[in-house]
């Protein structure tokens, strides 16, 4: 059985499609043999990847390789179930080790993506061993003293953390929807100060992990065959359907995914007064999120200036071709590093130039998770 | 080949699935033979359905039958290409006639859904012949003197139009996204006056017609087989993807679909000052739209009162089960008359109870088009 996501890439880049269902989680290695030799070197930090067998764990390896991240050694850690599994990374074979309290001796940087409970248990242990933990879970994001970082947005939040100081630390990777939204909103916020944001998301299966992507594909095949779709990860039909995000709903009626956008934005922008509301929806798309973002500013900002600001913003690409009706799509940003922004226009419902509507797409696994974490690690070098 | 949408219904209602790809466009007839006998009677108006072979045209027939709409005769009209085609409607066989300037003699009510240009040409001709035209296109919606009607919202707008007065008229059916949004927003507007609405849509293939639904299904099969998807109706991949609505983009950066929501809301609510912004997105769903709607009120309205108001609203069903995370989905409203509303909650980004977020789903072909038009016709009886 061939993966839909592989077929996506086939359509995306015209490349050959592999039979391995999760080829789409692997990188298109850009590192040359030369850069590979450079990446593995004595003076570089030792790395550990916690949750290496998962969708984001695999993407950590892809991104490290793509960016020629320098390392002295790399430890692949996962649950007992996956221990013994072998991965080839940059021409060397590695055996997955079981994650234990002893896993972090001599580990300089530990990239965590194994779920909140694993992070809660082993993050502090790793930090105590002197490792700098970059954690992709929500376990520590709102903790005082834990920087919540998007490198293009608030690198200074982690400037006090140094490698090789012997002092370990935990740095949190924001939630995927927050990263993708703020990559586009921050350059505009710096210029005109955002007072209020109304966000509606169109979230991919990948946010719920590799198994959710497989379920979407399986369900789609079943529905096309007139069969009742298999619902294991999600309790309802996902194929040809959409539904409110599956995160638990809180007493205020928002689900946890939505409140992450509200609270993480305040912490990352260091502005307790920033007003954010969000409605998070899962759509039958494989691995990239889209977000419709309505912005209200403290000072006027016209759409042309906003477009120019976004064109210059690092990690952002403007796709805003009104004439040919070409705007960002999840498919076009899949396996891409940059967040795409388009539909940049004056908000007809606000006075003057105090409001803008924009539409943003970003790869949930890459910039929404693994890439952002590796960029955080790069700030430590 | 079996239609995905048929499979949807199979999953929805457990009913048998037909081999006919567009069974899902047909009604689940609720009319008993008795009511069928009642519908066809001498003292009832004569009907014409213009564009009878299309998705909405077929749904007109389904809804007329479901609701036992009384008629003396019914004329099935379409382009020359479809003339001669036969349909069985309530046990009688009808031959599709070519639409001409002479088609409307002795026609009391003409239901139009054949595109804007056909409406522009033949709508006025039908009205001149004394027919009351209910037009599903955008041709006349914003014209002064043409009522734009959602029966549950503004029936009075057409109260001056009478059947059998010999005087013809044109009544416009609003755009699908407007109908679905205002079915939920109006009961709240009546209570607390909406000042501003920020809408993001999740629109189904059906809005672009039956051929678009077929293309979504075909593309999905192709992508799952690793083939390059066929792009005829839409110029880009729709399967496992989403994109900004394909309507032409206007100089203000909004597309026509979005400006319909802005302008039609003002006309239907008879309030030139109502502030609306919209971002319209196509998602890979078959026949029901979803909309994330952020509301700002002139007077406070708490979420509990809003929920009670919506529970009492005609044509609206509240699906808002936070405990089991069950909220409206396009699949659950497919082939249903009611618009479903959920995620009803206080907007955290607005002061006090001056703001609410809601999530709305409605069947685009049914309440979004055919049902609303037939309800308009019922107001004439």
* Mean pLDDT computed over A267-282: 98
| pLDDT per residue as tens digits for the range A200-220 | 999 999 999 989 999 999 999
CB contact under 8 A, A322 and B241: no
pLDDT for residue A16 is more than 70: no
pLDDT for residue A151 is more than 50: yes
Residue A29 pLDDT class (50, 70, 90 cuts):
very low
Higher-scoring residue by pLDDT: A2, A179? A179
Collect all residues with Cβ–Cβ distance below 8 Å to A331 and sequence separation of at least 6.
Answer: A8, A11, A12, A285, A288, B236, B237, B240, B241
* DSSP 8-state secondary structure symbol assigned to residue B215: H
The string of DSSP letters for A317-332 reads EE--BTTTTB---HHH
pLDDT for residue B31 is more than 80: no
Query: Are the CB atoms for A74 and A97 separated by under 8 Å?
Result: no
pLDDT of residue A64: 97
Looking at chain B, which residue has its C-alpha nearest residue A342?
Answer: B244
* Mean pLDDT computed over A131-148: 97
Query: Which chain B residues are Cβ-neighbours of A323 within 8 angstroms?
Result: 249
Of B4, B196, B236, the CB nearest to A240: B4
pLDDT of residue B377: 98
Query: Which chain B residues are Cβ-neighbours of A222 within 8 angstroms?
Result: 7
Nearest CA to CA, how far is B308 from chain A (Å)?
Answer: 16
- Determine the Cα–Cα distance for residues A202 and A186; give it in Å rounded to an integer: 20
Strands B275-282 and B243-244: antiparallel
pLDDT for residue B18 is more than 80: no
Task: Give the catalytic positions of A in this structure.
Answer: 176, 289
pLDDT of residue B307: 98
* Mean pLDDT computed over A304-311: 98
pLDDT of residue B40: 81
Task: Give the catalytic positions of B in this structure.
Answer: 176, 289
Q: Strands of A218-312 (E only): list them.
A: 243-244, 275-282, 288-297
CB contact under 8 A, B345 and A252: yes
pLDDT for residue B17 is more than 50: no
pLDDT for residue A155 is more than 90: yes
Nearest CA to CA, how far is A98 from chain B (Å)?
Answer: 35
Of B4, B255, B281, the CB nearest to A223: B4
Query: Which chain A residues are Cβ-neighbours of B229 within 8 angstroms?
Result: 11
ipTM: 0.91
Query: Are the CB atoms for B256 and B178 separated by under 8 Å?
Result: no
CA A105 centroid distance within chain: 28
pLDDT of residue B4: 42
| b (16+ CB within 10 A) / e for B116-132 | bebbeebbebbbebbbb
| pLDDT per residue as tens digits for the range A38-48 | 688 889 999 99
CB contact under 8 A, A223 and B349: no
Residue A105 pLDDT class (50, 70, 90 cuts):
very high
Average pLDDT across chain A, whole number: 91
Of A7, A236, A283, the CB nearest to B223: A7
3-state secondary structure of A218: helix
Collect all residues with Cβ–Cβ distance below 8 Å to A64 and sequence separation of at least 6.
Answer: A39, A47, A71, A74, A374
pLDDT for residue A20 is more than 90: no
CB contact under 8 A, B277 and A349: yes
| pLDDT per residue as tens digits for the range B110-148 | 999 999 999 999 999 999 999 999 999 999 999 999 999
- Which of B12, B204, B205, B223 to probe the A interface (max A CBs under 10 A)? B223
Looking at chain A, which residue has its C-alpha nearest residue B359?
Answer: A279
Residue B33 pLDDT class (50, 70, 90 cuts):
very low
- Determine the Cα–Cα distance for residues A36 and A342; give it in Å rounded to an integer: 36
* Mean pLDDT computed over B12-36: 36
Query: Which chain A residues are Cβ-neighbours of B252 within 8 angstroms?
Result: 345-346, 348
A153, burial (CB in 10 Å: exposed 0-12, middle 13-18, buried 19+) = buried
Higher-scoring residue by pLDDT: B23, B346? B346
End-to-end CA distance of chain A: 42
Query: Which chain B residues are Cβ-neighbours of A18 within 8 angstroms?
Result: none
- Determine the Cα–Cα distance for residues B345 and A259; give it in Å rounded to an integer: 13
pLDDT of residue A164: 83
A30, burial (CB in 10 Å: exposed 0-12, middle 13-18, buried 19+) = exposed
Looking at chain B, which residue has its C-alpha nearest residue A319?
Answer: B244
- Determine the Cα–Cα distance for residues B159 and A244; give it in Å rounded to an integer: 39
pLDDT for residue B180 is more than 60: yes
pLDDT for residue A8 is more than 60: no
Of B198, B286, B344, the CB nearest to A240: B286
Query: Which chain B residues are Cβ-neighbours of A197 within 8 angstroms?
Result: 349
CB contact under 8 A, A281 and B242: no
Nearest CA to CA, how far is B354 from chain A (Å)?
Answer: 13
Collect all residues with Cβ–Cβ distance below 8 Å to A237 and sequence separation of at least 6.
Answer: A219, A223, A229, A231, B8, B11, B331
pLDDT of residue A195: 98
Query: Are the CB atoms for B87 and B57 separated by under 8 Å?
Result: no
- Which of B213, B237, B253 to probe the A interface (max A CBs under 10 A)? B253
Sheet holding A275-282, edge to edge: A243-244, A275-282, A194-203, A288-297, A355-363, A339-346, A316-318
* Mean pLDDT computed over A159-172: 94
CB contact under 8 A, B10 and A226: yes
CB contact under 8 A, A253 and B346: yes
B277, burial (CB in 10 Å: exposed 0-12, middle 13-18, buried 19+) = buried
Query: Are the CB atoms for A52 and A77 separated by under 8 Å?
Result: yes
* Mean pLDDT computed over A358-363: 98
Query: Which chain A residues are Cβ-neighbours of B200 within 8 angstroms?
Result: 200, 279, 292
Query: Which chain A residues are Cβ-neighbours of B202 within 8 angstroms?
Result: 202, 242, 281, 283
pLDDT for residue A59 is more than 60: yes
Residue A227 pLDDT class (50, 70, 90 cuts):
very high
* DSSP 8-state secondary structure symbol assigned to residue B26: S
Rg (C-alpha) for chain A, rounded Å, is 21
CB contact under 8 A, B224 and A4: yes
| pLDDT per residue as tens digits for the range B257-296 | 999 999 999 999 999 999 999 999 999 999 999 999 999 9
* Residue whose entry in the numeric block shows the structure tokens 């390059």: B228
Which among B324, B365, B318 has a CA at the least distance from the CA of B339? B318
pLDDT for residue A158 is more than 90: yes
The string of DSSP letters for B149-173 reads --TTT-GGGGTT--TTSS--EEEEP
Q: How much of chain B exceeds pLDDT 90, in percent?
A: 87
pLDDT of residue B217: 97
CB contact under 8 A, B284 and A284: yes
* Mean pLDDT computed over A69-93: 96
Average pLDDT across chain B, whole number: 91
- Which of A204, A237, A349, A354 to probe the B interface (max B CBs under 10 A)? A349
Q: How much of chain B exceeds pLDDT 70, in percent?
A: 90
CB contact under 8 A, A284 and B283: yes
pLDDT of residue B165: 86
Rg (C-alpha) for chain B, rounded Å, is 21
pLDDT of residue B38: 62
Collect all residues with Cβ–Cβ distance below 8 Å to A190 and sequence separation of at least 6.
Answer: none
Number of C-beta neighbours around residue A5 at 10 A: 30
pLDDT for residue A182 is more than 50: yes
- Determine the Cα–Cα distance for residues A378 and A369; give it in Å rounded to an integer: 15
Looking at chain B, which residue has its C-alpha nearest residue A247?
Answer: B325
Structure tokens at B268: 């239907």
pLDDT of residue A38: 62
């Amino acid at each position: 059985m061939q993966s839909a996501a592989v077929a996506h890439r086939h359509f995306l880049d015209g490349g050959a499609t592999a039979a391995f269902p999760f080829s789409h989680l692997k990188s298109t290695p850009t590192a040359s043999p030369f850069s590979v030799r450079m990446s593995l070197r004595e003076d570089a930090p030792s790395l550990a990847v916690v949750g290496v067998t998962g969708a984001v764990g695999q993407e950590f390896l892809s991104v490290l390789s793509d960016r020629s991240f320098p390392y002295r050694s790399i430890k692949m850690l996962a649950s007992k179930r996956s221990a013994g599994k072998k991965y080839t990374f940059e021409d060397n074979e590695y055996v997955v080790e079981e994650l234990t309290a002893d896993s972090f001796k001599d580990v300089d940087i530990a990239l965590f993506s194994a779920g909140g409970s694993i992070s809660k248990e082993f993050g502090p242990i790793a930090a105590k061993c002197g490792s700098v933990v970059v954690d992709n879970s929500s376990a520590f994001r709102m903790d005082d003293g834990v920087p919540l970082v998007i490198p293009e947005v608030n690198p200074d939040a982690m400037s006090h953390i140094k490698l090789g100081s012997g002092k370990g630390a935990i740095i949190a990777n924001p939630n995927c929807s927050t990263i993708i939204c703020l990559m586009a909103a921050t350059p505009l916020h710096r210029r005109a100060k955002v007072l209020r944001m109304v966000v509606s998301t169109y979230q991919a299966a990948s946010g719920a992990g590799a198994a959710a992507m497989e379920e979407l594909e399986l369900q789609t095949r079943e529905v096309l065959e007139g069969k009742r779709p298999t619902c294991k990860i999600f309790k309802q039909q996902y194929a040809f359907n959409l539904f409110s995000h599956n995160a638990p709903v809180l007493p205020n009626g928002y689900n946890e995914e939505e409140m992450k956008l509200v609270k993480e934005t305040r912490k990352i922008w260091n502005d307790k007064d920033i007003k954010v509301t969000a409605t998070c929806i899962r759509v039958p798309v494989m691995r990239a999120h889209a977000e419709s973002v309505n912005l209200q500013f403290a000072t006027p900002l016209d759409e042309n200036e906003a477009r120019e600001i976004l064109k210059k913003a690092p990690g952002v690409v403007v796709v805003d071709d009104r004439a040919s009706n070409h705007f960002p799509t999840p498919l076009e940003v899949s396996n891409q590093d940059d967040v795409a922004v388009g539909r940049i226009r004056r908000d007809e419902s606000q006075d003057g130039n105090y409001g803008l509507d924009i539409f943003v797409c970003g790869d949930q696994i890459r910039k929404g998770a693994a890439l952002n974490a590796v960029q955080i690690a790069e700030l430590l070098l």
